[in-house]
Structure 1
Amino acid sequence: MKKYMQNLKCVALALCLLGSIVTACGTDKSEPEKPVDPEVPTSGDVTLFVTTATRSQDFAKKFIDFSSKSNMSPNTITLNPTQTFQSMDGFGAAITGSTCFNLMKMSQADRTRFLKETFSETEGMGQSYVRIAIGCSDFSLSEYTCWDTPGIENFGLQNEEKSYIIPVLKEILAINPQLKILGSPWTPPRWMKVNNLKDLQPFNSWTSGQLNPAHYQDYGTYFVKWIQAMSGNGIKIYAITPQNEPLNRANSASLYMSWEEQQAFVKTALGPKLKTAGLDTKIYVFDHNYNYDDIASQNDYPARIYEDPAAAAYIAGAAFHNYGGDKAELADIHNKRPEKELIFTETSIGTWNDGQNLATRLMEDMKEVGLGTINNWSRAVIVWNLMLDTERGPNRAGGCQTCYGAVDLAKSDYKTIKKNSHYYVIGHLSAVVKPGAVRIGTSGYSAEGVTYSAFKNPDNTYALVLLNNTNDIKKITLSDGSKHFSYDVPSKSIVSYRWK
Structure 2
Amino acid sequence: MKRNNNTMIYTFLLSCLITATSCNRDSFTPSQGDDIKKSGDVTIVMTNTNRAYDLTKKYVDFSTKFNMSPNTITLNPAQKFQTMDGFGAAITGSTCYNLMKMSKEDRTKFLTETFSDKDGMGMSYIRIAIGCSDFSLSEYTCWDKEGKENFGLQSEETQYVIPVLKEILAINPNVKIMGSPWTPPKWMKVNNLTDLKPFDSWTSGQLNPKYYQDYGWYFVQWLQAMKKEGINIYSITVQNEPLNRKNSASMYMSWQEQQAFIKQSLGPQLKAASIATKIYAFDHNYNYDNMADQEDYPIKIYNDAGAASFIAGAAYHNYGGDKAELIDIHNQRPDKELVFTETSIGEWNDGRNLNKRLMEDMREVALGTVNNWSKGVIVWNLMLDTDKGPNREGGCQTCYGAVDISKSNYKSITRNSHYYIVGHLSSVVKSGATRIGATGYTAEGLVYSAFQNTDGTYAMVLLNESNDNRKITLADGKNHFSYEVPANSVVSYRWKN
Structure-2-length-normalised TM-score = 0.93
Per-residue CA deviation, residues 342-393 of structure 1 (Å, 9 max, x unaligned), is 0000000000000000000000000000000000000000000000000000
Q: Which residue of 1 aligns with 2:77?
A: 81
Partner AA of 2:249 in structure 1: A
Which structure 1 residue ranges, 5 or more long, are not aligned?
Answer: 1-35
Deviation for aligned residue 1:229: 0.3
1:117 paired with 2:113, answer: yes
1:155 paired with 2:168, answer: no
Distance 2:438 2:179 in 1: 34
Partner AA of 2:428 in structure 1: V
Deviation for aligned residue 1:424: 0.4
Q: Which residue of 2 aligns with 1:349?
A: 345
Partner AA of 2:115 in structure 1: F
Kindly indicate whether the alpha-carbon contact (under 8 Å) linking 2:34 and 2:58 is maintained by their aligned counterparts in 1.
no
1:243 to 217, 226, 239: 239
Per-residue CA deviation, residues 175-223 of structure 1 (Å, 9 max, x unaligned), is 0000100000000000000000000000000000000000000000000
CA RMSD of aligned residues (A): 0.8
Q: Which residue of 1 aligns with 2:43?
A: 47
1:297 paired with 2:280, answer: no
Q: Summarize the alignment of residues 479-494 of structure 1 with structure 2, pairs less than 5 Å apart.
A: 479-494=475-490
Per-residue CA deviation, residues 200-250 of structure 1 (Å, 9 max, x unaligned), is 000000000000000000000000000000000011000000100000000
Partner AA of 1:115 in structure 2: L
Distance 1:447 1:304 in 2: 38
1:360 to 341, 356, 359: 356
Partner AA of 2:97 in structure 1: F
Partner AA of 2:220 in structure 1: V
Deviation for aligned residue 1:469: 0.2
Which structure 2 residue ranges, 5 or more long, are not aligned?
Answer: 1-31
Residues 38, 129 of structure 1: CA spacing in aligned structure 2 closer, same or farther, 3 A cutoff?
A: closer
Residues 71, 190 of structure 1: CA spacing in aligned structure 2 closer, same or farther, 3 A cutoff?
A: same
Partner AA of 1:293 in structure 2: D
Deviation for aligned residue 1:397: 1.0
Distance 1:204 1:482 in 2: 64
Distance 1:193 1:38 in 2: 61
Kindly indicate whether the alpha-carbon contact (under 8 Å) linking 2:34 and 2:60 is maintained by their aligned counterparts in 1.
no
Residues 374, 151 of structure 1: CA spacing in aligned structure 2 closer, same or farther, 3 A cutoff?
A: same
Q: Which residue of 1 aligns with 2:389?
A: 393
SS at match of 1:398: coil
SS at match of 2:204: coil
Per-residue CA deviation, residues 57-103 of structure 1 (Å, 9 max, x unaligned), is 10000000000000000000000000000000000000000000000
Which contiguous aligned blocks of 4+ residues in structure 1 show a shift greater than 4 angstroms? Answer: 36-39
Per-residue CA deviation, residues 20-45 of structure 1 (Å, 9 max, x unaligned), is xxxxxxxxxxxxxxxx9896210000
2:326 to 323, 330, 343: 330
Residues 37, 447 of structure 1: CA spacing in aligned structure 2 closer, same or farther, 3 A cutoff?
A: closer
Q: Which residue of 2 aligns with 1:232?
A: 228
Residues 165, 455 of structure 1: CA spacing in aligned structure 2 closer, same or farther, 3 A cutoff?
A: same
Distance 1:279 1:38 in 2: 50
1:144 paired with 2:140, answer: yes
Q: Which residue of 2 aligns with 1:498?
A: 494
SS at match of 1:446: coil
Number of aligned residue pairs: 465
- Identity across the alignment (%): 72
SS at match of 1:59: strand
Kindly indicate whether the alpha-carbon contact (under 8 Å) linking 2:34 and 2:59 is maintained by their aligned counterparts in 1.
no
Deviation for aligned residue 1:52: 0.5
Q: Summarize the alignment of residues 396-407 of structure 1 with structure 2, pairs less than 5 Å apart.
A: 396-407=392-403
Deviation for aligned residue 1:169: 0.1
Q: Summarize the alignment of residues 99-248 of structure 1 with structure 2, pairs less than 5 Å apart.
A: 99-248=95-244
Structure-1-length-normalised TM-score = 0.92
Distance 1:79 1:186 in 2: 41
Distance 2:33 2:44 in 1: 17
Partner AA of 2:271 in structure 1: K
Q: Which residue of 1 aligns with 2:6?
A: none
Q: Which residue of 2 aligns with 1:26?
A: none
Q: Which residue of 1 aligns with 2:429?
A: 433
Partner AA of 1:246 in structure 2: P
Distance 2:242 2:108 in 1: 35
SS at match of 1:428: helix
Partner AA of 2:112 in structure 1: K
Distance 2:440 2:403 in 1: 36
